[in-house]
Every structure is written in structure tokens, then in C-alpha cells.
């Protein structure tokens, strides 16, 4: 059975009193796991000991080491969190709880279970980054010993690791851990490809050994001549990195020349740039292959100069140039805080960046949504492809590749995103969906009354932006649905001859108990069409024992600005002055049509599927309406039409033209914004006066399209 001595030699950095505590945690774990074995046949205690050993190499504190030794105790043995808290302190118990799985909670599917477990891990990590360090060490040891598992389980665990855990390790700057996880996943997901590629790299190692050594000596000699102290080393790309490059660029292995690279370590930042200058004098640089991660570090704190040169025999060689401190951070990432006790500004910067990212997880969580949605948001932020843009004051922001101006607005601040109305990219007004490029300077224009546009969800890429937009839309939808539900219920109660104000709270309490939902949830269901208003009205009145027999007619007033809970059908585009009727559709609320809309004629005979509505008097909102014009095909006719429309106080929202058929007439379709039916009539009269206009009509749904339009415009099935 593995003993404490297996890790004790690596704990020399601990104080004697702390060492005693860690040993006590080992004894507690050994006793708790007594009689338990891993799939490989080893005593189970070998796993927590190995995890603690990995953390010891990062010089983590005693609490993290104790939590590593105890991390499976609560899940797999009768021991409780309270026992751990009593014996080892609340901090250790919280770390163990953060790492433990959620086996006791029932989920609908395995996907839900995985997503919820991942959410718990990330939110615990946001409170204490040691949770994820323990979890990553746990996963690393499990991956190293995965051969004992059945093939299907190996593939599932490897896929989960490469999708989630390896990107987290990369995001936290744990480069060595990230590369080992990638290679282990590659080995288990594609064993044949792994074996063939490993053999090819091994063969190439022998074939290219002389070239690699010649280049290394040339680099060292050049820097020595310049009296620049440096350590020059060769490095081999890890297998999964080579495989990914072959996949992305459709290359054969023989075409991948940079499987070997070189790393130059110097004493300070000026020496990095000097070294790069000397090496560009030694070998010609390849244009476009230089990256300065020192001036603009990666989001995980990684700093280095990357350059690719034409080496001997025309072979491209990749070189990384960095300081010794940068190298420590590149290898250990966020763990460098523990591994190198230092007040170095670089290490502080890593901590700050990590803290900002972890806080952004909490912000995304506050956006609401279920576990799977949270996982979808956060996956975007785990992958390191980044674009760097500037605020007007020169601050650098790192965004995911493909990020838009809206992503930038939310990266600045949630309120900036929620209230942005326009953006300037490099001083020019640009559309909100503009994809940003490295070096762009972005300025956001905000307005107090501006609100997120639902269409933004279709093009934003950052988890934070998507989460906050969806949260706002959910909140808005719920609020509007409650208000609409209240109006629909009042209409139903009046239709039954009762006064809505006379309904007592006790009646609501009884109905809430019967349905298992609160008053607000019932009203939301009515507004979304999930519950019939007349049924709820009868339930409330039956509680009062005053269900009247006399029915009264009641009509809902429509303002046209209710938002997502009340929508104007796009097939007939009703405007004030049109006789209207409403259909209620589940999850969408009320859909308003004109009385003569062809899409609804099949439903007019069924009174249970429609509601009487009317326009609220004195509306000042603009409404979209479609018109069709047949005009003489003459130069300048479109400008004349636009001038008349503008003179009548209308705006053209859209214009299109029917396909040319060679005749002297052209058919034009306009979407105009009008106040009401009389306003539209004035515009149409003014257009008829133009000699070029042959015919003008308001566009109504054609019969052959009615069925399809009905489905698209909210008709009940």
C-alpha cells in the first residue's frame, strides 16, 4: 500500500507543524478508503497520494494538499464534510466540497449531470482557484491510469478532458499540464494515429538531430558574440499539437517542419528584443510569423516573443524568446504564485488576470439559465484564440476570435453592453455586428433608454455577452408576460360578469395551492398561452362561490409597443385603424392579425382560439406596413417616390424590386413606417398623383401562402 513517504520527500518547503497536519489527512484518508481498490487493482489510497504529489511539485499550501488527500472521502466513504471540517478546518472542507461530484442529485440526462457538475466546479473555483488546481491534478492522474478502464469509458473521459479540462489548464497558463493532458487524450481517442505519429516523430528525432544541434549551436554562438547572456534549448512539439496542425492545414507529417523549436532564455525584457534582432540577422525571418506576447500578453499571463525563421536548407524554425521569470509563468501559470514565492510584477499580473476571468464566471452565472446554457457560455471563453483591441483611452482588452462590437461593449461593463446604441471602430461609425480585428480602437456610444436587441444573440461570441443578453430577454419576457396575463385574466373575469378588484387574496392562495404555482407564475403562463385565462377566472370565482351566469363582452386594448408578449403578425402587418383580432400561441403570447388576413380565415369560426382586441386611442408609435407599386421604368423614379414618402412624414424601412421582365413597367415593394391607417391613406394618395405611378396597393397575404404564414405568425395548431 502506498505510504506517506512517497510524497514526503517533496514537502520540504512546508513547516513542521503543517507537515504533521498533512500526514494526519493522509492517515484519515487511508483509513476511510481501507478495503477500496481502483480498477487497476491498486489500493485506492494510491490515487489521492498521487494527486497530492502533483500539487506538491507546485508547492501548494497545506490546506490544498490536505484537500487533495481527502478529495474522494466524502463521495466514496461514510465520512462527512462536517467531520473533515471539525478535524482539518472549514477551508479544507470547502475545498473538498468544491472538488466532489454531484452524484446524489438526480438529473434528467447525463449531459445535465456533467453540465451541473462543471458549473459547481467553476463557481467553486471562482471563489478559490485551488479547487481547480486539485481537480486538474485529479484528472491528470486519472488520465495517466486510464488504461484500466473499459474502452467506451476511456473515450468518454478523454473526450470530456480534451473539451473541458485541457482548455482550463491552458486558460490558467499551466502549459506542461495542458500539453500532457492533450497527448493523453490523443492517445485514448485515436490510439492508432497516436502510435503512428509517435513512431514518425521518434524516427525524425534521429534524422534531424544533426540539423537541430547545428541550429542550436549557431544561435548560442551568435548571442555569445553579441555578449548577450542566454540559455538556448531545443524543444519538441507535443504530439497532439503536431496532429492538430496536420489536420488544420491538411499536411502530411513530412510537410511539418517545425516539430522542433528553440527556446532562448535571457535576463530581462530589453534583452528579449536584442536577441530577436541578432537572430533575424542570423536567419531571415518569415514575414507575418512574428508575435509579440510581451507587449500584449495572452489572457492567461503568457509572455514571449515568437518568430519563425528560414533555417539551414530552407527549413522553417520556430523560436521563443523570453525572460527566466516569463518561463516560470509559461510552465506553471497560476500555480507560479505558490511555486515561486515572489513579489514579481509578472506573477502579480497572472493573478490579476486569473482573478478577472474567474469573476467573469460569476457574472455569467448571475445571468441565469440552466447548467447546459452556462456550460455553452463558458466553453467560448476557454479557448485561447484571442483578438486584442483598444479602448479610446488605450487600455487593451482581450476578446475571443470573431468577437463583435457588442462583445466589446459587454467586456467593458455589463451596463455599457445593455445600453449601447452605436459603435465607432477606428473613429468610424460601424454596425453593431462588426467583427473586430487585432489593433482596432473601439468606442461605444450609449443611451440611458437603450436596451439589448434580441438579434444580438445571433452574432455575439463571448460567454459574458450572450449570458447577459439572454438574461435581459428572459427578464423582459417574464415581466411582459405577467402584465399581459393580468390583462387577459381581467378580461375573462369581466366576461363572466365579475369585478377583478373583488377577487380576494385568499382565493389566489387556494388556486396557487391547487396548481402548485405562485400568482406570478400563473399570470406568466396565461400571458405565454400555456394556461387559459377563462379557466383560471372560473377557478378564482368558484373559490368565492359566485360564478355568475351572465356574460359580459370585454375587449383588450393594444398599444403596439408591448414587446415580446404581444406581437404584430408579419403576414398582414396590422396598423391602428385596421380592425384586428388576436390569437394566443404557447410560449409567444398574443399574435395580432387584421380581420381580413388570409392566414386566419380557417380559425375565425372557432371562438376558443381567438380574442377580441382593439387599438388603444391616441397612439403615437410608428408601425410597419407593406405597399406595392407598379411604376414606369424611368430614370429617377425611385428618388421621386422617396421624396413624396418623406414629405408625408414617413420613413422607408425596406425597398425591393421584382425581377426585370423587359417591359416598360417595374414592380416595387416598400415597407413604410406609418402612424395609423389615415396616415397610410395620405401617403398612397400623394404617390398616386405622380404620373409615373400606374397602380398602388397595400400588400395583403396571398391565399396560397396563407397556410405557411399561419404557422410562422403564431396561429394555433
Q: What residues act catalytically?
A: 75-76
Run of H or E including 627: strand 623-632
Between 175-189 and 239-249, two packed helices, what is the crossing angle to 10 degrees?
70
Which positions ≥6 away from 457 have C-beta within 8 Å?
Answer: 466, 469, 470, 473
Looking up cell 540577422 gives 281
423, 429 contact by CB (below 8 A): yes
Run of H or E residues at 600: none
φ, ψ for residue 366 (rounded to 5)? -65, -20
Sign of the four-CA dihedral 207, 209, 212, 213: negative
Closest to 520 measured CA to CA, from 557, 573, 484, 494: 484
The 3-class secondary structure across 32-75, one letter per residue, is HCCCCECCCCCECCHHHHHHHHHHHHCCCCHHHHHHHHHCCHHH
> Where does 496-619 have alpha helices with state H?
505-515, 519-527, 533-543
* Residue 612 host element (H or E): strand 610-615
In sequence order, the 6+-apart residues with CB closer than 8 A to the CB of 284 are 309, 310
CB 329 within 8 A of CB 301: yes
Q: CB–CB of 153/392 below 8 Å?
A: no
E strands, 324-449, are 386-390, 396-400, 420-425, 428-430, 442-446
Q: Are 95 and 128 in contact (CB under 8 A)?
A: yes
CA atoms within 13 A on the CB side of 317: 29
| Alpha carbon distance 439, 432 (integer Å) | 18
* Residues β-bridged to residue 307: 290, 319
**Cell numbers that stand for 479 in this block:** 415581466
Q: What is the DSSP letter of 109?
A: S
Task: Classify strands 284-292 and 428-430 as parallel, antiparallel or unpaired.
Answer: unpaired
250: left (phi over 0), alpha (psi -120 to 50) or beta: left
DSSP string, 567-586: EE-TTT---TTS-EEEEEET
Cell for 59? 508547492
Please name which of 528, 545, 540 lies closest in space to residue 493, comparing C-alpha atoms.
Answer: 540
Pairwise CA distance, residues 68 & 133, whole Å: 10
Which class for 173: exposed (0-12), middle (13-18), buried (19 or more C-beta within 10 A)? buried
Q: Show the 3-state SS of 241-307.
A: HHHHHHHHHCCCHHHCCCCEEEEEEECCHHHHHHHHHHHHHHCEEEEEEEEECCCCCCCCCCCCEEE
Amino acid at each position: 500500500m502506498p505510504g506517506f513517504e512517497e510524497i514526503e520527500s517533496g514537502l520540504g518547503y512546508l513547516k513542521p507543524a503543517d507537515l504533521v497536519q498533512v500526514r494526519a489527512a493522509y492517515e484519515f484518508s487511508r483509513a476511510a478508503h481501507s478495503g477500496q481498490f481502483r480498477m487497476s487493482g491498486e489500493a485506492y489510497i494510491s490515487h489521492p497520494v498521487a494527486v497530492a504529489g502533483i500539487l506538491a511539485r507546485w508547492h501548494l499550501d497545506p490546506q490544498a494538499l490536505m484537500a487533495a488527500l481527502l478529495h474522494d472521502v466524502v463521495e466514496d466513504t461514510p465520512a462527512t464534510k462536517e467531520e473533515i471540517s471539525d478535524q482539518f478546518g472549514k477551508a479544507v472542507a470547502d475545498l473538498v466540497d468544491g472538488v466532489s461530484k454531484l452524484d446524489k442529485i438526480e438529473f434528467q440526462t447525463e449531459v445535465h449531470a456533467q453540465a451541473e457538475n462543471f458549473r459547481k466546479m467553476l463557481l467553486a473555483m471562482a471563489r478559490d482557484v485551488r479547487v481547480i488546481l486539485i481537480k486538474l491534478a485529479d484528472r491528470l492522474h486519472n488520465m495517466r491510469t486510464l488504461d484500466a478502464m473499459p474502452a467506451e469509458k476511456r473515450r468518454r473521459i478523454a473526450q470530456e478532458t480534451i473539451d473541458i479540462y485541457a482548455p482550463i489548464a491552458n486558460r490558467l497558463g499551466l502549459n506542461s499540464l495542458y500539453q500532457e493532458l492533450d497527448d493523453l487524450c490523443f492517445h485514448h481517442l485515436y490510439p492508432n494515429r497516436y502510435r503512428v505519429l509517435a513512431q514518425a516523430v521518434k524516427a525524425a528525432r534521429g534524422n534531424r538531430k544533426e540539423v537541430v544541434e547545428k541550429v542550436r549551436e549557431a544561435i548560442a554562438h551568435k548571442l555569445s558574440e553579441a555578449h548577450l547572456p542566454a540559455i538556448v534549448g531545443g524543444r519538441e512539439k507535443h504530439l497532439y499539437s503536431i496532429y492538430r496542425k496536420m489536420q488544420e492545414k491538411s499536411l502530411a507529417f513530412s510537410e511539418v517542419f517545425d516539430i522542433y523549436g528553440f527556446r532562448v532564455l535571457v535576463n530581462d525584457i530589453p534583452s528579449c528584443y536584442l536577441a530577436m534582432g541578432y537572430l533575424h540577422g542570423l536567419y531571415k525571418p518569415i514575414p507575418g510569423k512574428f508575435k509579440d506576447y510581451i507587449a500584449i500578453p495572452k489572457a492567461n499571463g503568457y509572455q514571449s516573443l515568437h518568430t519563425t525563421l528560414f533555417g539551414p536548407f530552407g527549413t522553417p524554425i520556430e523560436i521563443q524568446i523570453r525572460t527566466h521569470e516569463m518561463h516560470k509563468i509559461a510552465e506553471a501559470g497560476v500555480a507560479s504564485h505558490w511555486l515561486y514565492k515572489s513579489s514579481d510584477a509578472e506573477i502579480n499580473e497572472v493573478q490579476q488576470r486569473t482573478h478577472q476571468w474567474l469573476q467573469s464566471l460569476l457574472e455569467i452565472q448571475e445571468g441565469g439559465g440552466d447548467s447546459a446554457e452556462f456550460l455553452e457560455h463558458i466553453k467560448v471563453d476557454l479557448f485561447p484564440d484571442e483578438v486584442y483591441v483598444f479602448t479610446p483611452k488605450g487600455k487593451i482588452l482581450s476578446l475571443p476570435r470573431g468577437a463583435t462590437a457588442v462583445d466589446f461593449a459587454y467586456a467593458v461593463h455589463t451596463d455599457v453592453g445593455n445600453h449601447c446604441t452605436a459603435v465607432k471602430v477606428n473613429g468610424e461609425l460601424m454596425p453593431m455586428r462588426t467583427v473586430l480585428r487585432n489593433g482596432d480602437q473601439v468606442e461605444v456610444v450609449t443611451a440611458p433608454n437603450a436596451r439589448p436587441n434580441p438579434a444580438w444573440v445571433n452574432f455575439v461570441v463571448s460567454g459574458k455577452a450572450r449570458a447577459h443578453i439572454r438574461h435581459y430577454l428572459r427578464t423582459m419576457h417574464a415581466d411582459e408576460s405577467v402584465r399581459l396575463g393580468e390583462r387577459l385574466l381581467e378580461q375573462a373575469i369581466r366576461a363572466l360578469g365579475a369585478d377583478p378588484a373583488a377577487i380576494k387574496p385568499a382565493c389566489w392562495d387556494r388556486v396557487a395551492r391547487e396548481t402548485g404555482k405562485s400568482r406570478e407564475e400563473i399570470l406568466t403562463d396565461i400571458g405565454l398561452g400555456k394556461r387559459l385565462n377563462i379557466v383560471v377566472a372560473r377557478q378564482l370565482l368558484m373559490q368565492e362561490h359566485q360564478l355568475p351566469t351572465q356574460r359580459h363582452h370585454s375587449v383588450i386594448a393594444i398599444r403596439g409597443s408591448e414587446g415580446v408578449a404581444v406581437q404584430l403578425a408579419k403576414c398582414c402587418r396590422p396598423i391602428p385603424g385596421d380592425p384586428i383580432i388576436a390569437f394566443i400561441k404557447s410560449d409567444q403570447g398574443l399574435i395580432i392579425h387584421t380581420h381580413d388576413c388570409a392566414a386566419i380565415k380557417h380559425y375565425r369560426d372557432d371562438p376558443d382560439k381567438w380574442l377580441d382586441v382593439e387599438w388603444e386611442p391616441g397612439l403615437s408609435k410608428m408601425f410597419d406596413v407593406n405597399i406595392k407599386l407598379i411604376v414606369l421604368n424611368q430614370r429617377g423614379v425611385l428618388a421621386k417616390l422617396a421624396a413624396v414618402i418623406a414629405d408625408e412624414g414617413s420613413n422607408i424601412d425596406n425597398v425591393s424590386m421584382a425581377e426585370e421582365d423587359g417591359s416598360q413597367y417595374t414592380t416595387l415593394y416598400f415597407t413604410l413606417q406609418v402612424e395609423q391607417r389615415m396616415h397610410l391613406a395620405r401617403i398612397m394618395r400623394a404617390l398616386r398623383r405622380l404620373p409615373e405611378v400606374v397602380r398602388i396597393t397595400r400588400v395583403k397575404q396571398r391565399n396560397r401562402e396563407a397556410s405557411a404564414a399561419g404557422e410562422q405568425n403564431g396561429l394555433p395548431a
